[in-house]
Amino acid sequence: MAKPRILVVDDEPRFLSNMVRLLTGKGLDVSGASSGEAALDMASKAMSGDGDERPFDIILLDMKLPGLDGRATLAALQEKKCDAEVIVLTGHAAVDEAVDILNQGAFDYLLKPCRTETLMRMLELACEKRGLRLE
């Protein structure tokens, strides 16, 4: 089985580069996007088969993004029939927001900074769920 393909979406350059480096070091195929619009573009291209890239398995999505925020990005991904599991990873937590985003279809809602072990476990569970759903 191919290693999971992950898209990290965050507008904080340092956090984005650190997450890409961390997850790549864990043996995952990781790309980064600094906005919701860039994430949608990358997901669309991967879903359409443009180039050699396969679709993303998981999208790690920040809620506070310039332009298209996390909630709108999730809705647009769903509208495009993107079958990646979405894990919200945000530094701006609110219980109501977490409940809403989970009801909207996100796989999980994590606070940053998040322990590496917790994140890796959520990625594993999201991959398992996606695999079962696609079978």
Q: In angstroms, rounded to a whole number, what is the distance separating the alpha carbons of residues 67 and 125?
A: 30
Range with the poorest average pLDDT among 29-43, 73-87, 121-135: 121-135
pLDDT band at 14 (very low <50, low <70, confident <90, very high): very high
70-103 in b/e form (b: 16+ CB < 10 A) is bbebbebbeeeebebbbbbbbeeeeeebbeebee
Side by side, the strands of the sheet bearing 5-9 are 29-33, 5-9, 58-61, 85-90, 108-111
CA 118 vs CA 38, 44, 114: distances in Å = 27, 29, 7
Amino acid at 60: L
pLDDT band at 24 (very low <50, low <70, confident <90, very high): very high
| CATH annotation of 5-134 | 3.40.50.2300
For 90-117, write each residue's pLDDT tens digit: 887 778 888 889 999 999 999 988 899 9
pLDDT at 52: 64
CA 3 vs CA 9, 26, 38, 56, 57: distances in Å = 19, 10, 23, 11, 9
Tell me what the mean pLDDT of segment 28-33 comes to.
96
Q: Where are the domains of the chain?
A: 5-134
pLDDT band at 1 (very low <50, low <70, confident <90, very high): low
Q: Give the torsion sign (CA, 103, 47, 44, 4).
A: positive
pLDDT at 106: 95
pLDDT at 121: 96
The structure tokens listed for 10 are 């965050």
For 40-97, write each residue's pLDDT tens digit: 999 999 888 766 678 999 999 999 999 999 999 999 999 999 999 999 998 877 788 8
